[in-house]
């Protein structure tokens, strides 16, 4: 039995103790920071549900200093202030745990304002259990895997601008928005991956992340929409940024 299987067995047992019975169906994706698994919630045998279990990799398997730019301006009190600045095992574990808690909390927060992302269900240890986006155990495709029509592209771009607007309204920037982190299912987008979200009220570099996110989005549509549509979207996103800057400056 390999380590991944052993670890999954332990995680499933932990969820069982939390009164959530899961069955692992298959691995969906193995990424730099986490692995995704399709699981079945069989807590109620008469109403099984397909879900996604995101399992973050351990501190030994991932380079954590990639997350430092997203934490600029963030203050930590007490012992956490010293721990986060250290390169000790404890400091690395704190950052590793922070990734999980930040993503879960941001998912919960954003779900109050928009439905353009998966619903979080529970966080346990180094995992997040969340809504499965797809059908018949087949996951929705990412934008980078699709060739959208002109009509679909306009709809998706409008949804993305809506999503970015909702994020900034609660002082957040995604920080890693791209076609690789956007699912498309039945005419609707679902944005994923939130451990690196930036608080625009504390991070002095938030405009850099905002510009990178919006440029990644617009770049995707260059071959799908005409220049007029792209320019119109860019103008909307620039005006949004200006309004956020004004709100921060004048504390509106």
**Residue 96, pLDDT above cutoff 90:** no
**Integer Cα distance of 193 and 176 in angstroms:** 8
70: exposed, middle or buried (Cβ count in 10 Å: 0-12, 13-18, 19+): buried
**Residue 134, pLDDT above cutoff 60:** yes
pLDDT at 3: 44
Confidence tier at 165 by pLDDT (50, 70, 90) = very high
**Residue 177, pLDDT above cutoff 80:** yes
Average pLDDT for residues 5-22, to the nearest whole number? 89
Alpha-carbon dihedral sign for residues 244, 203, 161, 188: negative
**Residue 249, pLDDT above cutoff 80:** yes
**Residue 82, pLDDT above cutoff 60:** no
Average pLDDT for residues 121-130, to the nearest whole number? 96
List of domains in the chain = 3-135 (3.30.200.20), 139-250 (1.10.510.10)
Higher pLDDT, 178 or 68: 178
pLDDT at 7: 81
pLDDT at 79: 55
Buried b (16+ CB within 10 A) or exposed e, 140-150: bebbeebebee
Nearest by Cα to 51 from 92, 12, 3: 12
pLDDT tens, position by position, 147-163: 999 999 999 999 999 99
pLDDT at 66: 61
**Integer Cα distance of 246 and 252 in angstroms:** 8
Average pLDDT for residues 24-28, to the nearest whole number? 96
37: exposed, middle or buried (Cβ count in 10 Å: 0-12, 13-18, 19+): buried
**Residue 1, pLDDT above cutoff 60:** no
Instruction: Give the three-class secondary structure for 76.
Output: coil
Tell the residue number behind the tokens 């301006």, with chain if given: 73
199: exposed, middle or buried (Cβ count in 10 Å: 0-12, 13-18, 19+): middle
pLDDT at 209: 95
**Integer Cα distance of 16 and 224 in angstroms:** 46
**Residue 2, pLDDT above cutoff 50:** no
DSSP at 62: S
Q: Taking all residues of the chain, what is their mean pLDDT, rounded to a whole number? A: 89
pLDDT tens, position by position, 212-241: 999 999 999 999 999 999 999 999 999 999
When mean pLDDT is compared across 25-29, 47-51, 85-89, 224-228, the lowest value belongs to 85-89
**Integer Cα distance of 24 and 28 in angstroms:** 11
Which secondary structure element, helix H or strand E, spans residue 169, and what is its range? helix 150-169
Average pLDDT for residues 114-128, to the nearest whole number? 96
**Integer Cα distance of 230 and 212 in angstroms:** 16
**Integer Cα distance of 103 and 178 in angstroms:** 17
pLDDT tens, position by position, 37-62: 999 999 999 999 999 999 998 765 45
**Residue 5, pLDDT above cutoff 60:** no
**Cross-strand bridge partners of residue 128:** 54, 123
pLDDT at 59: 67
**Integer Cα distance of 115 and 244 in angstroms:** 22
């Amino acid at each position: 039995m390999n380590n991944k299987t052993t670890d999954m067995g332990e995680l499933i047992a932990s969820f069982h103790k939390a009164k959530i019975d899961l069955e692992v169906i298959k691995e969906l994706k193995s990424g730099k920071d986490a692995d995704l698994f399709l699981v079945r919630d069989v807590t109620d045998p008469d109403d099984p549900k397909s879900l996604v279990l995101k399992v973050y990799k351990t501190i030994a398997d991932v380079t954590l200093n990639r997350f430092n730019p997203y934490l600029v301006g963030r203050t930590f009190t007490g012992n956490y202030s010293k721990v986060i600045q250290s390169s000790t095992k404890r400091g690395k574990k704190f950052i590793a745990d922070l990734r999980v808690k930040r993503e879960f909390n941001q998912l919960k927060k954003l779900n109050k304002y928009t439905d353009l992302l998966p619903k979080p269900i529970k966080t346990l240890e180094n995992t997040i259990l969340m809504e499965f986006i797809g059908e018949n155990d087949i996951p929705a495709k990412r934008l980078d895997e699709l060739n959208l029509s002109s009509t679909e592209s306009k709809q998706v771009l409008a949804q993305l601008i809506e999503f970015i607007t909702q994020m900034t309204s609660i002082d957040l920037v995604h920080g890693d928005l791209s076609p690789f982190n956007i699912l498309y299912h039945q005419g609707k987008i679902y944005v994923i991956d939130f451990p690196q979200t930036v608080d625009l009220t504390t991070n002095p570099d938030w405009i850099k992340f905002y510009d990178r996110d919006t440029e990644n989005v617009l770049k995707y549509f260059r071959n799908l929409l005409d220049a007029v549509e792209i320019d119109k979207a860019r103008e909307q996103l620039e005006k949004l940024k200006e309004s956020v800057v004004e709100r921060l400056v004048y504390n509106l």
